[in-house]
Amino acid sequence: MKRLVIVFTVMLSVLFSNAQSFKLEHDHSTIQVENIEVSAQFYSDILQLKEIATPWPKFKLIRFFETGNNQQLHIAQAQLDKYGDVKVNKVLHLAFTVRNFDRYLDFLNENDINYSDFAGESNNIQSRPDGVRQIYFQDPDGYWIEINDAKH
């Protein structure tokens, strides 16, 4: 009987740990730049990063680069404040891809983490033109985090 209780306890522990295991993996980092053309040339020529297509082929204010290991660097044309300085907003974020997007949303809801789409609509999931679903939320210091279901 004691052995049965131990086996049952171990099985429950494994099931519970698997239920909470989302396997977050770094997907991309996005930075804001003052001049998208100058910066794109720098990352291409100096860092020798390969530029890749974005999901928005007609939108010229963001560029994507491969950084290896299925990760990317995104550079986005900055919005400037009234003093001419780069405004830090949701464009500047860390992005992680997650294996089970829906289960991770449940996890966020269970932990009272408010998320939104890029426009800021609460509890709304955004879908990119390539079908990748995205949400955004902030860490305790106000940095933006994107969670998506990109397949690499």
Tell me how far apart the alpha carbons of residues 128 and 138 are, in angstroms, rounded to a whole number.
20
Owning domain of residue 65? 24-148
Whether 115 is in a domain gets the answer yes
Whether 131 is in a domain gets the answer yes
Q: What is the pLDDT of residue 9?
A: 46
Name the domain count of the chain.
1
Whether 114 is in a domain gets the answer yes
Q: What is the pLDDT of residue 15?
A: 46
Positions of the chain with pLDDT under 50: 1, 4-12, 14-15
Q: What is the pLDDT of residue 71?
A: 92
Q: What is the pLDDT of residue 11?
A: 44
Tell me how far apart the alpha carbons of residues 17 and 122 are, in angstroms, rounded to a whole number.
29
Whether 77 is in a domain gets the answer yes
How does pLDDT run across 42-59, given as a tens digit for each residue? Answer: 888 887 889 999 998 888
Strand ranges in the chain using DSSP code E only, listed in sequence order: 25-33, 51-52, 62-68, 71-77, 93-97, 126-127, 133-138, 144-148
Whether 14 is in a domain gets the answer no
Tell me how far apart the alpha carbons of residues 93 and 76 are, in angstroms, rounded to a whole number.
11
Whether 96 is in a domain gets the answer yes
Whether 53 is in a domain gets the answer yes
Whether 13 is in a domain gets the answer no
Tell me how far apart the alpha carbons of residues 27 and 101 are, in angstroms, rounded to a whole number.
14
pTM: 0.66
Residue 73: which of 101, 99, 48, 110 has the closest Cα?
48
Give the CATH number for residue 104.
Answer: 3.10.180.10
